[in-house]
Chains A and B, each alone.
Chain A
Amino acid sequence: MSETTSEPVGEPKGGQKHDGHPGHDHPEEHAGHGHGDAHAHGNSPHLAHHFDSYQQQFDAGKLGIWLFLLTEVLFFAGLFCAYTIYRAMHPEVFVYAHYFLNTTMGAINTCVLLISSLTAAWAVRNAQLGQKSLLMLNIVITIACACTFMVVKYFEYSHKFHDGLLPGPRFHPTEQVWEVESFKLKHPEAAEYAERLAKAAEEKKKKPAAAVAIVPGTEQPTFEKPTEEQLEPLVKAGLIGPLSEEPGGISRPKDAHVFFSCYFFMTGLHGIHVLAGIGVWIWLLVRASKGQFGPKYFGPIDYAALYWHLVDLIWIYLFPLLYLIH
C-alpha cells in the first residue's frame, strides 16, 4: 500500500487533504481547488461529469492505462514463459531455426519502431504545448512507421509461407539449413560439408548397390570423412545428434516446427497490437485535426503513446529472442 492519503496528486476530490479536519463540511468550497481548472463542466467539454477536475480525470486515466499495460505484459508473459520452457527443453531447435529468420528485416523493423516511439513521445509534448500541426505531423509519422513495420512483416511472413516454414504438421521447409545464406556465412565449411554429404546421400539413394564409386564424372566419388572439428558446427546446429529426426544422419532437429509456432504466435500477437495501435493513432489524428487537445486535455495522446512504447518494448524483446540469440 504505497498509496496513502497524503499523496498530493492522487488525493481524491479536489483539495481535501486529511480525514478528520472538522469544519470541512462545505464540500462545494473544495470542489474547484487543485489546479484552477474550471469546475463548471459546461465550459469543459472533455471533462466527464463524475470527475471534479481535469487533473483528477487525467490521473485516473493514467493509472488506468498503466494497469492495462500491466495486463498486456502479463498476457505476453505467458508466451515468453512458453518460449523459455521450450528453449530449455529443445535448445537445438532454436539454434537450427534462427538461421531461417531474416535479421536485416528484423533490424529494419526495430529501427522503424524506435523512430515511431520517439515521434509518439514527441506528440505528447506537442499536445501539452497545444502545437496542433506539429502534433498531427508526429502522429502521421508514427502511423507511417507502424505501417512500414507491418509491410516488412508481410514480406517476412509471405517468405516463410513460401518456404514451408510453418508451425505444426504444415512444416515442410523447402530449403535445408545449410543452403540458407546466414548459415553459409557463419559456418562456410560446415555448409559445404553438409551439402556434399547430402548430395552423396542422394546419389546413394538414386543408385543403390555401391554405384556411387563407379559413376564417372562425379568430381568426388568418395570424399574423406569430415573430421569432428569440421562437423562441430553441424552438431551445434542440431544437424547431427541424438535429437535429430534421423539419428546419425544429417537432418533437422526433431520438432523444429515448435520454433515457428513460437515465432508466428509471438510476432503475430505483437502484429495485432501494432494494428490496434494504428487504429488508435488514426482516431487520435482525426481528433487532433479538430483541435481537441491542448494543455488542459492531452490524456488520450499520452495514453496512446504509453501503449505504443509498450508495443515497441515487446518488439525490443522479441527481436533478440527470436532473431539474434542462439
Chain B
Amino acid sequence: MASPSTTADAVAPRSSPGDDNYLTHDKGIASWAFTLDHKRIGVMYLISVLCAFALGGTFALILRTELLTPGHTIIDHDTYNQMFTLHGAIMVFLVIIPGIPAALGNIILPLQLGAKDVAFPRLNLASYYLWITGAVLMLTSLAINAVDTGWTFYTPYSTTTSTAVVPAAFGAFVLGFSSIFTGLNFIVTIHKLRPPGMTWFRMPLFVWALYSTALIQVLATPVIGITLLMMIVERTLHIGIFDPALGGDPVLFQHFFWFYSHPAVYIMVVPAFGVIGDIIPVFSRKKIFGYKFIAVSSLAIAFLGFLVWGHHMFVSGQSVLAGTIFSAITFLIAIPTAIKVFNWTATMYKGVIHLDTPMLYALAFLWVFTIGGLTGVFLAVMSVDVHLTDTYFVVAHFHYVMMGGAITALMGGLHYWWPKAFGRMYDEKMGRLGAILVFIGLNVTFFPQFILGSRGMPRRYYNYLPEFQHLHMLSTFGAYTLGAGFLLTAYFLAKSLKHGKIAPANPWGGTTLEWQCPSPPPYYNFTKTPVVTQGPYDGYENLVYDEKIGGYLPRPNKAEA
C-alpha cells in the first residue's frame, strides 16, 4: 500500500516516440495556437519566456561591456539608459514573474495534482496571449524610441521624458493582467481540483509555493495596474495626480509602485522556494526537513510582503515613523526566510545525495540565496540603508536574489522537469558544466558589485569615477562567463529535443504525482485519477532504479502487496 504509485498502469516503463502524448496529440500550428491544454500553454510560455530572457540577457551583456571603461565604451548615454530600462522591465515583467509560475507551473501543477487541466483552460490561453500582447507593446516602445525611465517608471521623470513610455507602461499593465489570470487560475485549481486523498499538507511544496505566489499575484497586481494607468493618463492628459507642477505628489507614485513591486519580489522568489523544496528531497532520497514550516512560511512571507513596501523609500522624504515601521516588519520577513534555508540544508543531513544537474542548481541556489538574503538584512537596517540605497550594493543584492534565486531555480526546475515535459534526457555532463559556469559567473559578476556599492558607486550610472574601474571589469568578465553558461545550456537542451535519450517516466525517483504519468504526459495526463495515500516526499525506499530504462520503478514485490 505504501507504494507511491497506486495506479500501476500509469507507470509505463517508457514511452516510445509513437505513443500518443500531448506533443503529438494534434498537429499543426493552429493546434498549438488555440490549444487549451495546460502543458502546451506551458511550453509556449516556456519558449516565449526563454526568448525574452535571451533578449534581456543580451542587453545585460551590452551594458556590462559598456561599463568596462568609464565614459564611452561602445554605446552612448541615452542608449545605455534605454537599455538598462528594457533589461530591467523585460527581466522583471516578461521573464522572472511569469518564468516559474506560468511556464513551469502550467506544465507541472495539474500533473502534481493528478488533474486533467487547470480550472479555466480558456483563461489560461488568454493569459498567454496577454503576455504576448504585453511583450509586443514593450518591443513597440523599443522600436519607436525605447523607454528610458528605469523599470520603476518613477514620476515625474516618466511623465516628462520624450521616450515612448506609454507603450512600455501599457505593456506592463497588460502583463499584470496576464499574471493575475494565471494566479487566479492556480488558486481555483488548487482549491477545487486536488485528487482524492491530497490534503493541504500532502501537497508538494511546489504547489504550496505556487499557491502563495498566486495569492500575491491576485492581491497586489491590480494596484500596479491602476498605478500605471494613472501614470499613463498623467502623461497624456496631465491630470495632476503625480505631477507636482499641477498639484500632484510624485512620492505617492512611489508608494503605489512599491505596494505592488515589493510583493512582486515574492512573486518572483517564492516559486523558486517551491522548486528547491521539490528538488532537494528527491536528490537526497529523503523526506524534507520541517515540511509544514516550509509550506506555511511561504504564506507568511506572502502576507508580510504586503506590509514592507516603504523600505524602498527610506530616503525619499517619507517620515521617520513610517520608515521605522517598515524597517521593523522587514526584519520579520528575514526570519522565516532564514529558517527555510536551514531546513533545506538540514534535509541533506544523512541523505543519499545525487549531484545531478538539478541538484547542482539547487545547491547554487542555496549559496546565492544565502548571500542575497543576508545582504537584504543590511538594507533593512535604516542607518546603513541611507548609505547603501541606490548604489551598486542594491543592484548586487537584488541580482543575487532575482538572478541568483529566481533564475537559478528556474534553471534547476527546467532541468528537473525537462525529461517529463519533453520526453528526452539532456546530456548530463554538459548540464553539470552549464550549472557550474552559471554559478561561477553569477558570483564573479555580482559579488564585486557589493564592494562597488558600499564604496559609493551609485546605480544606473553610464559614466563612473576611474577608482571603480577594476571592480567593474571583474564584474563584466563574470557576466561573460554567465552568458557562456546560458549559451551552453541553450545548446545542449535544444540538442536533446532531437538527439536526447528517451526519458523514462521517473528518471530522478520522485514521488510526487507528475512522475506517475509517462514522459511526455498523454493528452489528458492520467487515464485514471490517481489516489494519494501519503505525503509528497514519502516512499523513496519503495522505488528501485532500473539501469535498463535509466529511471525508477516501484519495488516489485511491495507494490503488489
Contacts and interface: CB of A to CB of B under 8 A. Distances in A.
Contact of B221 (A22, A64, A68, A71): A71
B223 to A, nearest CB: 5
Contact of B121 (A18, A48, A64, A265): A48
Contacts of B524: 49
B193 A12 contact: yes
B316 to A, nearest CB: 15
B286 interface: no
Most buried by B among A5, A56, A72: A5
A82 B196 contact: no
Contact of B199 (A19, A30, A76, A79): A19
Interface string B529-558: 111110000000000000000000000000
B196 A24 contact: yes
Given A4-B200, A63-B192, A168-B238, A79 B226 contact: yes
B188 A75 contact: no
A75 B226 contact: yes
B230 A78 contact: yes
A22 B1 CA distance: 8
Given A20-B197, A71-B180, A82 B192 contact: no
A78 B246 contact: no
Contact of A257 (B116, B180, B199, B246): B246
A12 B200 contact: no
A90 interface: yes
Given A10-B192, A12-B194, A78-B256, A31 B529 contact: yes
Interface in A53-67: 56, 59-60, 63-64, 67
B184 to A, nearest CB: 5
Interface stretch (B128-136, B247-255, B411-419): B247-255
B222 A72 contact: yes
A50 B115 contact: yes
Contacts of B199: 4-5, 18-19
Contacts of B240: 167-168, 255, 257-258, 261
A25 interface: yes
A68 B123 CA distance: 12
Given A49-B116, A265-B230, A68 B184 contact: yes
B528 A27 contact: yes
Contact of A82 (B117, B193, B230): B230
A59 B531 CA distance: 21
Interface in A76-93: 76-79, 81-82, 85-86, 89-90
B184 A258 contact: no
Majority SS at the chain A contact face? helix
Interface residues of B, number: 58
B464 interface: no
Most buried by B among A31, A59, A74, A81: A74
A19 B117 CA distance: 22
B116 A19 contact: no
B336 interface: no
B25 interface: no
A254 interface: yes
A78 B119 CA distance: 29
Contacts of A48: 121
B192 A258 contact: no
A39 to B, nearest CB: 12
A169 interface: yes
Nearest to B113: A12
Nearest to B1: A22
B466 to A, nearest CB: 45
Interface string B206-231: 00000000000011111101110010
A219 interface: no
Interface string A81-121: 11001100110000000000000000000000000000000
B197 A64 contact: no
A16 B202 CA distance: 15
Contacts of B119: 50, 60, 64
Contact of A24 (B185, B197, B256): B197
B197 A50 contact: no
Nearest to A52: B529
B188 A60 contact: yes
Contacts of B6: 25
B55 interface: no
Most buried by A among B7, B120, B240: B240
B29 interface: no
Nearest to A64: B188
Nearest to A3: B191
Interface string A199-222: 000000000000000000000000
B223 A19 contact: no
Interface in B371-429: none
B248 to A, nearest CB: 7
Interface in B65-90: none
Contacts of A77: 222-223, 226
A63 B211 CA distance: 14
Interface of A: 1, 3-5, 10, 12-14, 16, 18-22, 24-25, 27-28, 30-31, 48-50, 56, 59-60, 63-64, 67-68, 70-72, 74-79, 81-82, 85-86, 89-90, 167-170, 254-255, 257-258, 261-262, 264-265
Given A19-B198, A56-B193, A82-B241, 14 more contacts: A4-B200, A13-B195, A18-B199, A21-B197, A25-B531, A49-B116, A50-B116, A64-B120, A75-B225, A77-B223, A78-B256, A82-B256, A168-B237, A254-B247
11 contacts: A5-B199, A12-B194, A49-B117, A49-B524, A64-B123, A70-B219, A78-B230, A79-B226, A168-B238, A255-B247, A257-B239
Interface of B: 1, 6-7, 115-121, 123, 180, 184-185, 187-189, 191-200, 202, 218-223, 225-227, 230, 233, 237-241, 246-249, 252, 256, 299, 524, 528-533
7 closest residue pairs by CB, A with B: A16-B196, A255-B247, A78-B226, A261-B239, A168-B238, A50-B116, A50-B117
